[in-house]
Amino acid sequence: MIVVSHRGPYSFSRGDDGNLTAHRGAGGLVSALGPLLSAEVDATWIAAAISDDDRSAVRAGTTGDLDVNLRLLDLDRAQHRMHYDVIANGVLWFLHHGIFDRTRRPRFDLRFRDAWDAFVAVNQCFTDAVLETAAPGEVVLVQDYQLTLVAGQLRAQRPDLRVVHFTHTPFAGPDDFSLLPTDVGADLCGALASGPAGFHTKRWAEAYRQSARATLGRRAAVASPFVASLGPDVAALEAVAASADARAAAGHLDDAVGDRLVIARTDRIDPSKNIVRGFLAFDRLLEARPGLRGRVVLVAMVYPSRQGLAEYLAYENEVEQVVARVNDRWATRDWLPILLDDRDDFARSVAGMQRYDVLLVNALRDGLNLVAKEGPVVNRRDGVLCLSPETGAYDELKSAAIAVHPYDLEQCAGALDDAVSMPLDERALRATKLRALATMRSPADWLSDLINHAGK
Ligand code: G6P
């Protein structure tokens, strides 16, 4: 079996001694698939070398000593930048999450066309890497929007391979999808339509089916999409929770928050995560409920992401400014309302998830949001989940969560209020139900669904 994803399970960095060491990434896909693939002797994972140290590791041959058979691609730098920053994250991410500021973006000009060519070429590099290693009839599992064209390229060149594409993001419905230049939309949908294409929820699968129909025409053959939701790896999470790093982080958090109520969130700083409105809703909560001042802390474990994009840098700035404003408004000598922690540190996030009384996930739109499932698994305080209906996880967890409207600050503040004031017996009932719902699906279930859809 071959797994293909843009970001791989390991990244490399050079220590003080000058040696390159591998670090396991913290993303959902990686934590879910890593242990499963390391147990599979014949599995290969193909991904991009992203940092300079990753590239050095490829050149030094250091990627061979890991528990997965990892092949990192040393892509042409300029092409890779256009693929990742301009098309994958600058266009497709915004399109599928419905977050274009349409009066200004998108603009499809000559620069876009160059970048689109680079996107096609980078997808072809991944395809070529698969072609070099794939045995006849091998299963190939291609992941996510950065590699939308790979499955189609593979099927055209090696019809014997059993290829599945899985999208971890939402998928734009026809009204949004039609923003793309017609040929680009047709290439993207055409690649997915040529075989099994999976999504986390029915909603994204249906949006894809409708966009493919609208883009390719009613008579085009569009293979039926399938739905396979991902669940957290409970054993791996418990191991992290028990680690010295998580215990140290839990100690620091206890020192900082004491016995106050904790509302927590953990996200990449990404406009789709709606972090700023979350702070504004918290501000409104403190305004409306004076009794909560000094008694509640918003622990925001949010860390920089995709810093090659101006939109992300601007959003990061806005996050910092809003935190400063809210803290300026309410802080007292011994209470800081928002604790902003911008380290990308999974053990720290797990410690925060163990401690929360309320977990806030108010994304504008999100393919799944694994945090909404991981939180209830590790939480130790019968914490309440405030969850946006725009996340894929909402379909599975809604009966035990409190809905937060991603745009309605009054509603969100009210939902946070309900969550912090919920009687203990109701909290306990909901937390038990949440844990059961969040663990209905394991990473192994998800993987075997993909393999089954790859066919015999
Ligand atoms: C989302 C995407 C993944 C991506 C991750 C982190 O979860 O679905 O494909 O890897 O975000 O984003 P990054 O750009 O840092 O890889």
Closest ligand 1 atom, residue 169 Cα? 8
**pLDDT tens for each residue of 265-297:** 999 999 999 999 999 999 999 999 999 999 999
Taking the centre of ligand 1 as the mean of its atom positions, its distance from the CA of residue 393, in whole angstroms, is 17
98 and 238 housed in the same domain: no
- Contact call for residues 129 and 153 (beta carbons, < 8 A): no
**Ligand 1 in reach of 96 Cβ (< 6 A):** no
**pLDDT tens for each residue of 83-131:** 999 999 999 999 999 999 999 999 999 999 999 999 999 999 999 999 9
**pLDDT tens for each residue of 41-88:** 689 999 999 999 999 999 988 876 788 899 999 999 999 999 999 999
**Ligand 1 in reach of 305 Cβ (< 6 A):** yes
For the chain, what percent of residues have pLDDT higher than 90? Answer: 90
- Contact call for residues 151 and 12 (beta carbons, < 8 A): no
- Euclidean distance between CA atoms 155 and 260, whole angstroms: 56
What are the respective helix, strand and coil percentages of the chain, to the nearest 5? 55, 15, 30
- Euclidean distance between CA atoms 227 and 199, whole angstroms: 5
* Greatest C-alpha distance within the chain: 68
pLDDT of residue 27: 64
CATH number at residue 411: 3.40.50.2000
Radius of gyration of the chain (CA): 22
211 and 293 housed in the same domain: no
- The domain in which residue 226 lies consists of 2-230+445-454
Domain count, the chain: 2
Please compute the mean of the pLDDT values over residues 351-359 and round it to a whole number: 98
Q: If you take atom 9 of ligand 1, which residue's CA is the nearest one?
A: 144
Closest ligand 1 atom, residue 305 Cα? 15
Q: If you take atom 4 of ligand 1, which residue's CA is the nearest one?
A: 7
Ligand 1 pocket test target in 7, 45, 200 with most atoms within 8 Å of CB:
7
101 and 216 housed in the same domain: yes
**Ligand 1 in reach of 81 Cβ (< 6 A):** no
Please compute the mean of the pLDDT values over residues 379-387 and round it to a whole number: 98
pLDDT band at 456 (very low <50, low <70, confident <90, very high): low
358 and 211 housed in the same domain: no
**Ligand 1 in reach of 379 Cβ (< 6 A):** no
- Contact call for residues 283 and 375 (beta carbons, < 8 A): no
304 and 420 housed in the same domain: yes
3-state SS, 20-85, equals EEEEECCCHHHHHHHHHHHHCCCCEEEEECCCHHHHHHHHHCHHHHCCCEEEEECCCHHHHHHHHH
User: Token pair of 139, please?
Assistant: 């299963």
Closest ligand 1 atom, residue 146 Cα? 9
279 and 141 housed in the same domain: no
pLDDT of residue 315: 98
147 and 279 housed in the same domain: no
- Euclidean distance between CA atoms 30 and 317, whole angstroms: 28
User: Which of 369, 453, 351 is closest to 406 using CA atoms?
Assistant: 369
Taking the centre of ligand 1 as the mean of its atom positions, its distance from the CA of residue 146, in whole angstroms, is 9
pLDDT of residue 38: 76
Ligand 1 pocket test target in 5, 29, 266 with most atoms within 8 Å of CB:
29
199 and 335 housed in the same domain: no
- Contact call for residues 451 and 139 (beta carbons, < 8 A): yes
**Ligand 1 in reach of 144 Cβ (< 6 A):** yes
User: Which of 233, 206, 186, 220 is closest to 9 using CA atoms?
Assistant: 233
- Supply the mean pLDDT for the chain: 96
**pLDDT tens for each residue of 223-264:** 999 999 999 999 989 999 999 999 999 999 999 999 999 999
**Ligand 1 in reach of 270 Cβ (< 6 A):** no
190 and 246 housed in the same domain: no
Q: What is the DSSP letter of 271?
A: G
**Ligand 1 in reach of 348 Cβ (< 6 A):** no
Taking the centre of ligand 1 as the mean of its atom positions, its distance from the CA of residue 344, in whole angstroms, is 13
Taking the centre of ligand 1 as the mean of its atom positions, its distance from the CA of residue 329, in whole angstroms, is 34
207 and 249 housed in the same domain: no
Residue whose pair of structure tokens reads 């996107």 in the numeric block: 119
287 and 326 housed in the same domain: yes
57 and 185 housed in the same domain: yes
**Ligand 1 in reach of 168 Cβ (< 6 A):** yes
DSSP of 350-413: HHHHHH-SEEEE--SSBS--THHHHHHHH-SS-PEEEE-TTBHHHHHHGGGSEE--SS-HHHHH
